[in-house]
Structure 1
Amino acid sequence: MSVFALLFLLSLSSAVTAAPKADLWPYWQTSNPNSATQVDHSAWQNLLNTYLLVAPEQTRFRYAAVSAKDKTSLNQYIAGLTSRDPRRLNRNEQFAYWVNLYNALTVKVILDHYPVSSITKLGGLFSFGPWDDKLVTIDGKKLSLNDIEHRILRPIWQDKRIHYVVNCASLGCPDLLPEVMHADRLNAQLDGAARRFINSPKGVDDQGGKVRLSSIYDWYQSDFGSLTDLQKHLNNYRKQPVTLTKPSYDYDWRLNEFR
């Protein structure tokens, strides 16, 4: 193996283990607390109703079945979101706006490149996935998926439950939820998503005290805190309490598809 190839493989390995830090993009911090505007996410909900299959431990998306008409509907939904200035919305509407946009964009990226075995196969030659690709323009600003998650959602809301509602089209990821985010019931939806993931084997797998956690808890340790903090967080949602001493971590990057 050449030195170049070795360095390339090492760079991919580090990309998996080193997640972006929360780095506020101040431009998007503005909101209008007096706004009563409600963003219509029904088109995205209709697509989820049609193509998302929900099972007890995993939701899967029927990418191969999406019709040309529904691909157009998805594109129009995204275009409608990106044509407005989310800074004019109140905080709850903003949160629903950004999460729904993130998830819709992720599905669009897969559909635009389907068939593909994993989202990590997308992006440029030296990229581990498409997260840094500038996918949309909002109010004259070009944004990537990483911008939405790590420069807007995480630093503005500072809520660890964000990790349970943004989906990366992978089996190891918290599920793509069957219901779009709604501004009037965000807290219940966030708690429900946390509870679903933390009680699934891909979130927390406790085999007689030998605990395997999702790599999310390793990558985003800055959000979840120490093992003591993490244990408290997990046990807030666990049906059976877990004790963390030296957990291992794992993540399944295979596409969350259903054929």
Structure 2
Amino acid sequence: MKKILLILVAVFTLSNVNAQTSIFNNLLQKHVTKDGVVDYKSLQKNEAKLDEFLSYLANTVPDNSWSANKQKAFWINAYNAYTIKLILNNYPLKSITNIKVKGKTAWKTPFAKVAGKTYTLDEIEHEVLFKNFFDPRIHVGVNCASGSCPQLANFAFTENNIDTELTRLMKLFVNDASRNKISEKKIQISSIFDWFKVHFTKNGTVIDFLNQYSETKISPKAKISYLNYDWTLNGK
């Protein structure tokens, strides 16, 4: 009987996770273009649905039985959902950098309620995601709602899609000429590769990392410079 109850609880939990993730997925599909442009004005009209997903995040503690991919997807979705909520709370605005709460930036403000605790966006990214599931591709999963950021995926991450999609999004980002300008002997790349260099050089140089995804083979001796970052809101 005990085993049956445990199985039923597991099935119910999985069903709830899938249902709630579908809510977020549907919002992204409806209000975010395939190029990552967000229609925040129309999203405001469906904010109740976003709040429903945030309520789920606030009250759900990732189970120890969850795979690393499932937990990673959960936390990346949480980061992106709360970033969207923060923008809606301050909309209209020109840039996420304009947001200040008691003198703190958007990334340093504790407001994201997940798994019974309150986090800042920085804490979700660095104290949860990178600390527990180190993966440089996380940088193309989480989104900072700005023009130079890797584009916001117009779908929710799941246990089944996260590995494939993070690789696809990293390839898309690296080869996007508006965000990285790459040739064999000279590269002008996103400041993300400078700010978080430690994440991209764990197993080699930044060029070694880029060559895993770049359509153009970069010389190990290529000249590197970093592009100015566009913090304009990623909205219509």
Bin the TM-score by the shorter chain. Answer: 0.7 to 0.9
Task: Look up the SS of the partner of 1:247 in the other structure.
Answer: strand
Structure 2-normalised TM-score?
0.85
Q: What is the alpha-carbon distance in structure 1 between the residues aligned to residue 115 and residue 39 of structure 2?
A: 32
Counterpart contact for 1:212–1:250, Cα < 8 Å: no
Residue 89 of structure 1: CA displacement? 4.9
Q: What is the alpha-carbon distance in structure 2 between the residues aligned to residue 216 and residue 195 of structure 1?
A: 15
Task: Look up the SS of the partner of 2:89 in the other structure.
Answer: helix
Query: Is 1:51 the equivalent of 2:31?
Result: yes
**CA 1:84 to 1:224, structure 2 compared with 1: closer, same or farther past 3 Å?**
same
Residue 227 of structure 1: CA displacement? 11
Q: What is the alpha-carbon distance in structure 1 between the residues aligned to residue 162 and residue 42 of structure 2?
A: 30
Q: What is the alpha-carbon distance in structure 1 between the residues aligned to residue 226 and residue 114 of structure 2?
A: 40
Q: Which moved more, 1:36-45 or 1:99-108?
A: 36-45
Q: What is the alpha-carbon distance in structure 1 between the residues aligned to residue 185 and residue 229 of structure 2?
A: 19
Query: Is 1:190 the equivalent of 2:166?
Result: yes
Match of 1:135 among 93, 104, 111: 111
Q: What is the alpha-carbon distance in structure 2 between the residues aligned to residue 161 and residue 101 of structure 1?
A: 16
Q: 1:117 is matched with which residue?
A: 94
Counterpart contact for 2:193–2:200, Cα < 8 Å: yes
Q: 1:165 is matched with which residue?
A: 141
Q: 1:101 is matched with which residue?
A: 78
Task: Look up the SS of the partner of 1:142 in the other structure.
Answer: strand
Residue 83 of structure 1: CA displacement? 0.8
Long gaps (5+) in structure 1: 1-34
Q: Which runs of 4+ in 1 moved over 6 A?
A: none
Q: What is the alpha-carbon distance in structure 2 between the residues aligned to residue 179 and residue 224 of structure 1?
A: 25
Long gaps (5+) in structure 2: 1-9
Q: What is the alpha-carbon distance in structure 2 between the residues aligned to residue 80 and residue 141 of structure 1?
A: 13
Q: Percent identity?
A: 30
Q: What is the alpha-carbon distance in structure 2 between the residues aligned to residue 115 and residue 136 of structure 1?
A: 20
Query: Is 1:239 the equivalent of 2:197?
Result: no
Match of 1:42 among 9, 22, 27: 22
Match of 1:179 among 155, 179, 182: 155
> Which string of whole-angstrom CA distances, capped at 9 and with x for unpartnered residues, describes residues 85-109 of structure 1?
1244512221111001111111111
Query: Is 1:252 the equivalent of 2:230?
Result: yes
Counterpart contact for 1:213–1:250, Cα < 8 Å: no
Counterpart contact for 1:202–1:214, Cα < 8 Å: no
Residue 223 of structure 1: CA displacement? 0.7
Count of aligned pairs between the two proteins: 219
Counterpart contact for 2:70–2:159, Cα < 8 Å: yes
Q: What is the alpha-carbon distance in structure 2 between the residues aligned to residue 224 and residue 236 of structure 1?
A: 11
Name the aligned partner's letter for residue 24 of structure 2: W
Match of 1:61 among 34, 38, 43: 38
**CA 1:114 to 1:248, structure 2 compared with 1: closer, same or farther past 3 Å?**
same
> What do you get for the CA RMSD once the two structures are aligned?
2.1
Name the aligned partner's letter for residue 141 of structure 2: V
> Which string of whole-angstrom CA distances, capped at 9 and with x for unpartnered residues, describes residues 156-213 of structure 1?
1111111011000001001101221110232111111111100102442136844211
Q: What is the alpha-carbon distance in structure 1 between the residues aligned to residue 216 and residue 38 of structure 2?
A: 29
Q: 2:128 is matched with which residue?
A: 152
> Which string of whole-angstrom CA distances, capped at 9 and with x for unpartnered residues, describes residues 30-78 of structure 1?
xxxxx775322111111111111124xxx2001122243x101001111
**CA 1:67 to 1:163, structure 2 compared with 1: closer, same or farther past 3 Å?**
closer
Q: What is the alpha-carbon distance in structure 1 between the residues aligned to residue 65 and residue 112 of structure 2?
A: 19
**CA 1:96 to 1:155, structure 2 compared with 1: closer, same or farther past 3 Å?**
same
